Amino acid sequence: MAGKPILETKALHKRFGDHHVLRGIDFTVEPGERVAIIGGSGSGKSTFLRCLNFMETLSEGEVWLDGTRIGVERKGTVTYPEKQLCQVRERLGMVFQQFNLFPHMSVLDNVMEGLVTVKRMSRPEARRVAEAELAKVGLSEKHDAWPGRLSGGQQQRVAIARALSMQPEILLFDEPTSSLDPELVGEVLRVIKQLAEEGRTMLLVTHELGFAYHFATKVIFLAHGVFHEVGTPDEVLKNPRQARTQDFLRRFGEFAF
């Protein structure tokens, strides 16, 4: 694949005080790629994902979206105008570990919110889009429910519908199944798989190595703030070359491909 990257980072660093979490990451995603990012807890994989849509501010480095650098550089200091960040976030949908649904709104209103407030859609039009997205994640019958009354798996599917409603070009999944009871993981992974089949560009931070193997076109093993190993699922998950990757996979135990 030698297409034009849709998303790119150059020498990306992130520090929290003295803690140097990301140590110079160069990364490209091409349209239609599905990237799974794996690594131990505290390896910085979620932080990396969150830097892409500026949930975290970069300490150093650059993020490029569709050939445009995010941020404005003036005399060596980079600022990130809010308006630009909003546009970037509209194009990069994010699904969080903790769902982050709005508890004071019904399921339908959660999905309509961005359409009405950000895209300035009329309510009837937004309702049509939201209904379609909820149907897609299999929650048509839950329109009027409060998010707090749903199971974790259902909440996460609403969150996916909310992200999809904005018609993002890229979807970012930040450990979407990590806070779910085991029996609820499957329904969320099924929705993600269905999105993969549509050919969407997706980045997934996950501990579900088995799922990553089938889902991804590219797997990245992140350790100590750098991309330790990058390759196809077969290369990274079945025949890792780096000792640290092998070690990580061994510690994670058996998983079925």
Partner 1 sequence: MNYVPDFSIVTDNWIVLMRGLWVTIQIWIPSIVIGLAGGFLLAQARLARSKVIRGTSLVYVELFRDTPVLIQLIWFFYAFPILIGVQLSPYAAALLGLTLNTSAYASEIFRGGIRSIHRGQMEGALAIGMTRAQAMRRVILPQVVKRMLPAFTNRTIEVAKMSSLASVISVHELMYQGRLLSSTYYRPFEILTAVAFIYFVLIYPGTFLAGRLEKHLARSN
Q: Which amino acid is at 209?
A: L
3-class secondary-structure state, position 65: strand
CA-closest candidate to residue 134, choices 98, 104, 101, 103: 101
Judge whether 184 and 153 are in contact, CB under 8 Å.
yes
Which residue's CB is nearer to partner 1, number 173 or number 248? 173
Which of these ranges, 9-17, 88-96, 133-141, 216-224, lies near partner 1 under the rule CB under 8 A?
A: 88-96
Return the residue of 4, 19, 69, 104 that touches partner 1, per CB under 8 A. 104
Please state, as a whole number, how many other Cβ atoms lie within 10 Å of the Cβ of residue 237.
23
Smallest gap from residue 126 Cβ to partner 1 (A):
12
List the interface residues with partner 1, window 29-68 (CB under 8 A). Answer: 53, 55
Which residue's CB is nearer to partner 1, number 93 or number 233? 93
Q: Decide: is 94 part of the binding site for partner 1 (CB under 8 A).
A: yes
| Count of residues engaged in binding partner 1, rule: CB under 8 A | 30
Residue 248, phi then psi, degrees to nearest 5: -60, -45
Judge whether 192 and 173 are in contact, CB under 8 Å.
yes
Cβ-proximal residues to 24 (8 Å cutoff; 6+ apart), any chain? 11, 12, 13, 61, 225, 226
Q: Decide: is 79 part of the binding site for partner 1 (CB under 8 A).
A: no
Q: Decide: is 130 part of the binding site for partner 1 (CB under 8 A).
A: no
Footprint of partner 1 on this chain (CB under 8 A)? Answer: 53, 55, 82-83, 85-87, 89-90, 93-94, 96, 98-104, 113-114, 117-118, 146, 148, 159, 162-163, 165-166
